[in-house]
Amino acid sequence: MNTIWRGIAERVRGYTWKNQNVTGVDVGSRLLKAVTLQPGHGCPMLQGVVIEALGSRSNLDSQSDLEQDRHLVQVLRTQLSPSPHTVGITVSSPHVLLKRLTFPNMSENDLREHLALELDRYIPLDVQGAVWDVYRHKVSGALGNEKDQAVLVVAKKEFIEERMRQFEQQGMSVGFVDVDAFSLVNMVAYNYGHEGTWLIVHLGPTGILSVVMEEGHPMHMHQVSYEADWYGDLLDGVLSPSETFGNGYKIGASESLLLEQFFKETIEQVIETVKDVSEITDKDVVRGVFLSGGYSVLEGLQSRLADSLDVSVTPVNPFKKIAVPQNMQQDCRFQKALPLFGVAVGAALRGVIPHD
């Protein structure tokens, strides 16, 4: 079997950079984010970023939305210099299905052969119209001697091919298709290290994405939509793209009262995920939490999470170990937008190859 996802979620540690620039593209529900990295001495260097607001998207597969996506691809050509020839793109829910599997020890080839024959047992999609890959890893703790775990990644073939075609029509090839959760693990592991068990919490318009990372591997992923329909309008009003990438924001008394329910739900979801860690690893408590995404910068969220979990809560800096030009470091708009680039940076970090 040959899928476009072969080799997903490769770790960055011990890898060397290719002799070319790498662009990671994250097409979100509200914003397009892109990051171009280039080889450097000891660490990659940031060459350019793009952030572009998307229009209203009532039907993610509609013709109007596809036309808008084509326009966004054109934006990459005009705003990134030099224009990228190859990009890595990410996909997320609802376009991708992630399913955690536990199975007896078997080889990589045996696992793939099993899934190729029995895929319809695991997914609610037409197998003939799906593309898939599997990322496997060893289980730590008591189960590790006899069981393996894997993450099955599945998407509609038509959607993936259309997304790739949009880039190809603008003279760019898609080097790989990744998943938001794996890109976040790549970004955090590269910038903050691989040791230990950590929780990455990515907060954005589509909901809460929680990823448990153990020793640099994605061990567990959980994504939920917000319970209240009005969260999006409230949070976008408080943290509009123009303010996040512009002159800053302020939360008034009325917004603070309305945000209480959002804070309560977010904290409950994170606590529930932390409890789940004991079921998938031999470690009872995560070492800390990394916050990512546009909604992660809400005033008070970091301190309230830290108090509730009694662990460190760190807002991620996707460029912590990436050389950033001085003019960008001094740009307040760039600094305010840092939490938005986590997925795009993680995708760009895939542009590496192992040492020979």
* Per-residue b or e along 276-293, where b marks 16 or more CB atoms closer than 10 Å to that residue's CB: bbeebbeeeebebbbbbb
pLDDT band, very low/low/confident/very high, at 244 (cuts 50, 70, 90) = very low
Query: Model confidence over 247-280: pLDDT tens digits?
Result: 444 556 666 777 788 888 899 988 888 877 666 6
Q: Which is nearest to 212 in space by CA: 202, 204, 225, 203?
A: 202
Q: How large a percentage of the chain has pLDDT more than 90?
A: 22
**Selection from 16-25, 134-143, 164-173, 289-298 with the highest mean pLDDT:** 289-298
Given a cut of 80, is residue 194 above it in pLDDT?
yes
Query: Model confidence over 325-338: pLDDT tens digits?
Result: 999 999 988 988 89
Q: Which CATH number fits domain 15-354: 3.30.9.10, 3.90.1150.10, 3.30.420.380, 3.60.21.10?
A: 3.30.420.380
Distance CA 69, CA 63 (A): 10
Given a cut of 90, is residue 313 above it in pLDDT?
yes
Distance CA 293, CA 344 (A): 11
- Specify the pTM: 0.85
